Structure 1
Amino acid sequence: MKRRRFLLVSSLLVAWLGLMPPLQAQPLSAPQAAGQLLQATPAAQRGALLLPFTDAARSDWHYTPRRRDGVAWKAMSPAQRDATTALLRTALNESGLDKVRALMALEIALRQLEGSGSWRDPENYAVAIYGQPGAGGWGWRIEGHHLSLHFSLAGDRYVATLPQFFGANPATDPRQGFRLLGTEEDLARQWLASLTPAQRGHAVFSSRPFGDIVSRNAPHARPLDAVGLPFADMDAGQQARLLKLVAAFADHLQPDLAQARLARVRAAPLDGIRMGWAGSTQAGQPFYFRIQGAGFLIEFDNSGGNHIHSVWRDFDGDFGRDVLGEHYRSAEGSKHRHRPPTSP
C-alpha cells in the first residue's frame, strides 16, 4: 500500500523528467555503479562529482534549498542518471527509491502551491562521491531540499548509512492527501495512544515543539537531554510498537543494511532508550518526538503542522567514523609491525 502511494506521487516526477531508469539485469556492486557514473561523467564535471574523502568535506551537509557539492540531476545526461539510479539501488530498496522520487516530486507540489516559479526545483538534487570507489574508505551521498542520505564504505562493503535526513513539505498534500512520512507519524501516534495517563505524563515533556530538529545539521551528533518515557517503563506491547517505529526509519534500505543498522540499536541495552513527545497530541497540530538510545538519535519535527523534518544520527558511527577509524588504525599498526628495521 505504501509503495503504491509513493508510485502515485513519484509518477508526477517521472512525467516531469521523462525518465524512469530500468532495473539492471544483474545488480551492480556499489564500486561498479560508482565507476559507471564516473565513466559517464564528462571530464569537465568530474571535479564536481569526485571529492576528497575527508571528514570536513563529508560532514558539510544541509537540508535547506542551496547549492550542493556534486553533480545535480538537472546537469546529468541520461547515462549519468541511469548510473546514479544504479548506485542508489545498491543501498536503497525499491520502496526507498520510490520514497526519494516522491520527495523530489514534492518540489513540484510546492511550486504549484506557492506559485514560486523555478525556486522549487525537483532536479536540484546532487550526487557526490568521496574518495576512490572500491579503494579503501570511500563514500557517496545524495542531497537536496529535504533529503540528505550519506553512505560510507570500506572497499565494496557498506559500513555506515548515516546521517539520514528526510523531510516533507507539505507533510500532507491538500490536493491528494499524500503523506510522505505518514507511516512514521502514524506509528508514533499509535505508541502515544497506548500509554496510560501516568506514562503520558512522562512521555510528553514539553507543551511546545522546538521549531526544528534540535540536532540541526551538526557535523558531529551529540546526545540531547534524556527526556521522555524510558523503555523499561513501557509494557511489552509498547516496547514492540517503539521498536517497530524505529525500524520504519530504516525501511528504505536494502534488507542487509537495514538489519545492520537495527543491530547497532540492539547492541546497547534497550532499557537505555527513551521516547519523548513535545507539542500538541492532536493530529494536524505542531508536534515533535525524539527517540534516543546510548548510540543513536531519531528526531521528527512538525513544528508548522504540515512541514516535517526527520533525522537519524549515530553518535559514533555517522559517516562510518568508528568502523573506518578502526580500519585505518589497524592498517597503520600493521604497517609499523611489518616495517623493516632501520639501520642503527
Structure 2
Amino acid sequence: MREPVGLRKRGNPPTREPETWTRDLLDKVGWRVKAAHEPFRGVATSDGVRQDLFPLRATGADVRGVYRAAEEYLAGLTDKQLAAGRFPMDDESWRHWNNGARYFLRHGMLLEDFDDAQRERALAVVRESLSADGYRQVVDLMRLNLTIGELSGNTYGLNEWLYWFSLYGEPENGGPWGWQLDGHHVNINCVFVGDQMVLTPSFLGAEPVIAGSGKYAGTVAFRGEEALGHELFTRLDGGQRERAVLSDTMPEELFVGAFRDNFDLDYQGLRLSDMTPGQRDTALRLLGLYVNRAGDDHARVRMEEVRAHEGDTHFAWIGDPDGTFYYRFHSPVILVEFEHMPGVLFDNDYPSRRHIHTVVRTPNGNDFGVDLLRQHHERHHGAPRG
C-alpha cells in the first residue's frame, strides 16, 4: 500500500474579503447550487421513492436534555445573532451543507466567532443529541481539522472552530426543530419531531486520520469503521465476494455526498440475508458504529428500524482489503458509505488510508426528517405541504 509523501504546495490562504474567490468558486460549481434549489425528493432507487417507511409516532426517547440545551443556546444569543443563526424549519439552507471552501454557501453562526460560553452552549446541543462516542468522534474530527491547518501553515482556513451552527424551528414551543453543524469534514443535520430524531444526512471525514503532532497529537479517527469493514469483507467466501464486489475501480467520491439529495442509486451487492450468522453479526456491529452516533434512546429506535429491513440490506465493496477500499450498506431505511480518498491537502493523487470520507443517509424521503415533517404537518395542520 502506497503512502503519501508530503503536503501539497499551496498558495497563501484567502483574506477575510472572500467575495472574488467565492464568485470564482460559484462559477465552477454551479450545479451544486442548482441541486440545492431542486424540490426535495430524497435518495431513491430507479423505481422511485418507497412510501410509508417512517411512521410518525412516540418512541419513549428522553428528549428533555436536548430541548433544554436548545432553549439555553437561544437564550444566550443577541438579537443580531438570532437573526443570523436561526431559521424556519422549511428553510432551504438545510440543503447547503458541504465539505468545501470556507465561505461557500455557509450560513448560521461560526463557532470561531462565539465567546467561550456561547460556543459551549452550541456544543451542548450537539452533545445532548449524540452518544458519548458520537460526540467524541465529532470533536476529534474538528481537532484533526486543526491538525491539517497546523501542518499546512493555514490555521485561518483549517481549525477546530471553523464550523457553522444553525438552529431551525421552535424547540421552546415543542414544535419540530433541528440543528446543523457544517464545515470541513463535519456536516451533521439533526431533526426532532416530538421525541423522534433523524440524524441524516451526516457526512464525516478526516485528512489525516491520525494526528502525529500538534496541539491534538494522538487523536485518531475511523479505526473501527475501517477495521470492521475489512473484517466483514475478508470473512466472505469466494461466491459471496463475487456478489459483493461492484467494480475494480474506486469511485471518485461518495455517491450520496453533498448536493445528492435526489440521487438515484439501485441496490447492489450481497444481501445480509445471504450471509452466515457470524457474518451478519459483524455487519450489524459495523452498522452500529454509524447508528450509535446518536444518543442511546434514539440509537435503539434507529437500530430497530434498520433491523426490520435486515433482509433487504445489501453490502457492497470496491477495492483491496490489504490496501484501500470502499464499502456501502444500502436498505430502504439506511444508506452508509465509507471510502479511502486521494489526497487533497496531502500530495498523493491515489487513495490512501490517510484520508477517509463517510456518509449516512435516510433514503426514501426522510433525510432532514422530511417525511416525518410532512406527516406532522398533515396531522396538526390538516393539509399536505405544498
TM range, smaller chain: 0.7 to 0.9
Which amino acid in structure 1 is aligned with residue 184 of structure 2? Answer: H
Any stretches of 5+ residues in structure 1 without a counterpart?
A: 1-26, 336-344
| 8 Å Cα contact 1:208-1:280 kept in structure 2 | no
Offset of 1:114 from its aligned partner? Answer: 2.4
Higher relative contact order (CA 8 A, sep 6+): 2
CA-atom RMSD in angstroms = 2.1
CA shift at 1:221, angstroms? 4.8
Which residue of 330, 350, 356 maps to 1:308? 356
* Residues 140 and 219 in structure 2, CA contact (< 8 A), matched pair in contact too: no
Q: Hey, what does 2:89 align to over in structure 1?
A: 53
Q: Is the 8 A contact 1:223 1:297 kept in 2?
A: no
2:374 partner SS? helix
d(CA) in 2 for partners of 1:159, 1:134 = 16
Instruction: Rate the CA distance shift 1:221–1:167 in 2: closer, same or farther, 3 A.
Output: farther
Bigger mean CA deviation after superposition, 223-232 or 299-308: 223-232
For 1:96 and 1:250, the matched residues in 2 are separated by: 9
- For residues 102-121 of structure 1, the aligned pairs below 5 Å read 102-121=140-159
Give the drift of 1:28: 5.8
Q: Which amino acid aligns with 2:95?
A: S
1:81 maps onto 2:129 in alignment: no
Q: Amino acid of the residue matched to residue 300 of structure 1?
A: F
How far apart in 1 are the matches of 2:70 and 2:299?
Answer: 21
Once the two structures are superposed, what CA deviation does each residue of 1:115-138 show, in whole Å capped at 9, x if it has no partner?
A: 335221221112100122243222
- 1:1-344 to structure 2, matched below 5 A, reads 29-54=65-90, 56-67=92-103, 68-135=106-173, 136-155=175-194, 157-173=195-211, 178-218=219-259, 220-268=261-309, 270-283=310-323, 285=324, 287-304=325-342, 305=352, 306-315=354-363, 316-333=365-382
Taking only the aligned residue pairs, the percentage that are identical comes to 29
Match of 1:341 in 2: none
**Which structure shows the bigger proportion of residues in helix conformation?**
1
Asked if the contact 1:49–1:127 (Cα under 8 Å) also holds between the matched residues in 2, the reply is yes
**Residues 191 and 369 of structure 2 are in contact (CA less than 8 Å); yes or no, is this contact kept in structure 1?**
yes
One-letter code of the match for 1:235? T
Pairwise CA distance, 1:141: 1.4
Tell me, yes or no, if the aligned pair for 2:267 and 2:331 is still in contact at 8 Å: no
Deviation at 1:212, TM superposition (A): 1.2
**Normalised by the size of structure 2, how large is the TM-score?**
0.74
**SS in structure 1 of the partner of residue 233 of structure 2:** helix
Q: State how far apart, in whole Å, the 2-side matches of 1:219 and 1:201 are.
A: 28
Unmatched runs of 5 consecutive residues or more in structure 2: 1-62, 343-351
Q: Which SS does the other structure have where 2:171 is aligned? A: coil
Q: Structure 1 residues 89, 171: CA separation in 2 closer, same or farther (over 3 Å shift)? A: closer
SS in 2 for 1:29: helix
1:52-75: per-residue Cα shift (whole Å, max 9, x none)? 211522222112233321111111
**Residue identity opposite 1:60 in structure 2:** H
Q: What CA distance in whole angstroms lies between the structure 2 residues aligned with 1:178 and 1:87?
A: 23
Kindly tell me the number of residue pairs found equivalent between the two proteins.
305
CA distance in 2, matches of 1:255, 1:151: 15
Equivalent residue letter for 1:329 = E
Aligned-partner Cα distance in 2 for 1:152–1:55: 13
Q: Which secondary structure state, in structure 2, belongs to the residue aligned with residue 165 of structure 1?
A: strand
Cα distance in 1 for partners of 2:228, 2:180 equals 28
What is the distance in 1 between the residues matched to 2:181 and 2:374? Answer: 23
One-letter identity of the residue aligned with 1:310: T
**Cα distance in 2, alignment partners of residues 134 and 40 from structure 1:** 14
